[in-house]
Amino acid sequence: MASFCKVTITCKSLLNWIYILSFFVVITADSGIQSHHEFKQTKLKRLLMDDNYAVMSRLDNLTKEFEALKKENALLRHSPIAFVAELTKTITGVNQQIHFDHVKLNLGNSYYLSHGNFIVPVNGLYLFTITACSHTNHYVVLELTVNTVVVGKVLAGDTAYNECSSRTFLQQLSSGDDVFVQHKTTGDYLLSYAGHGLPSFSGVLLKAF
């Protein structure tokens, strides 16, 4: 009887231990499943964040490209800018702006006949040409001026013959700049060949920025 009791107690103890171990196994398994699930969720969140970042980055790049194309398209559609003006009368003396009084071309209407100046309509690279003429044994120096700065000069004359000279100037200019030709103190005789369209002042927009 005593032996039977001992066996019974031992069996009960064994069953208890089996139950306890089973409980821990279940808990451990549940914990493992939960941890795996959390890992998958975390990984999914990271993938979504990476995808969102990639999409936003691409969208930002596309927006910049679109704005650049809009600007380029606007520049390509910009009206042509060009002018040619001639001087029809001989001028002597010094310290004067030259008013080229016969306009042959004025695309964009940026050359102002009343003052003989060109007001830059749009930022860009411009090409200007000045032709000056002077009488026998006289000479003249004309100055291309932007606002208040002399950016180039052309000399004509000081020979035994009537003479004309031309120079071309490249200038990067900003909208609103005032471009004109003046004769300050060097030389004293600007000869006109009205029948030949000389002297002259011309300009053209090569590329808008």
Q: What is the pLDDT of residues 87-108, one digit of tens each?
A: 999 999 889 999 999 999 999 9
Instruction: Give the model's pLDDT for residue 175.
Output: 97
| Contact residues for 121 (Cβ-Cβ < 8 A; gap 6+) | 81, 108, 110, 175
Instruction: Give the model's pLDDT for residue 181.
Output: 98
Per-residue confidence band for 2, with pLDDT thresholds at 50, 70 and 90:
very low
Instruction: Give the model's pLDDT for residue 126.
Output: 99
Highest mean pLDDT among 2-6, 31-35, 71-75, 104-108: 104-108
Instruction: Give the model's pLDDT for residue 32.
Output: 59
Q: Are 151 and 184 in contact (CB under 8 A)?
A: no
Return the minimum-mean-pLDDT range out of 16-20, 23-27, 116-120, 193-197: 23-27
* 91 or 1: which leads in pLDDT: 91
Mean pLDDT of 134-144: 94
Torsional class of 94: left (φ above 0), alpha (ψ -120 to 50), beta (otherwise): beta
Q: How far is CA 95 from the centre of its chain?
A: 38
pLDDT reading at 124 higher than 70: yes
Instruction: Give the model's pLDDT for residue 63.
Output: 82
Residues in the chain: 209
Tokens 């930022």 sit at which residue? Answer: 123
Q: How far is CA 190 from the centre of its chain?
A: 40
Q: What percent of the chain has pLDDT over 90?
A: 54
pLDDT reading at 29 higher than 60: no
Per-residue confidence band for 68, with pLDDT thresholds at 50, 70 and 90:
confident
Per-residue confidence band for 51, with pLDDT thresholds at 50, 70 and 90:
confident
Cα(70)–Cα(74) distance, integer angstroms: 6
Determine if the pTM surpasses 0.85: no
Q: Are 86 and 98 in contact (CB under 8 A)?
A: no
Tokens 């009791």 sit at which residue? Answer: 5
What stretches of the chain adopt beta strand conformation (E)?
A: 82-86, 91-92, 96-97, 102-107, 111-112, 117-119, 124-134, 139-146, 149-157, 163-173, 178-183, 189-190, 200-208
pLDDT reading at 138 higher than 70: yes
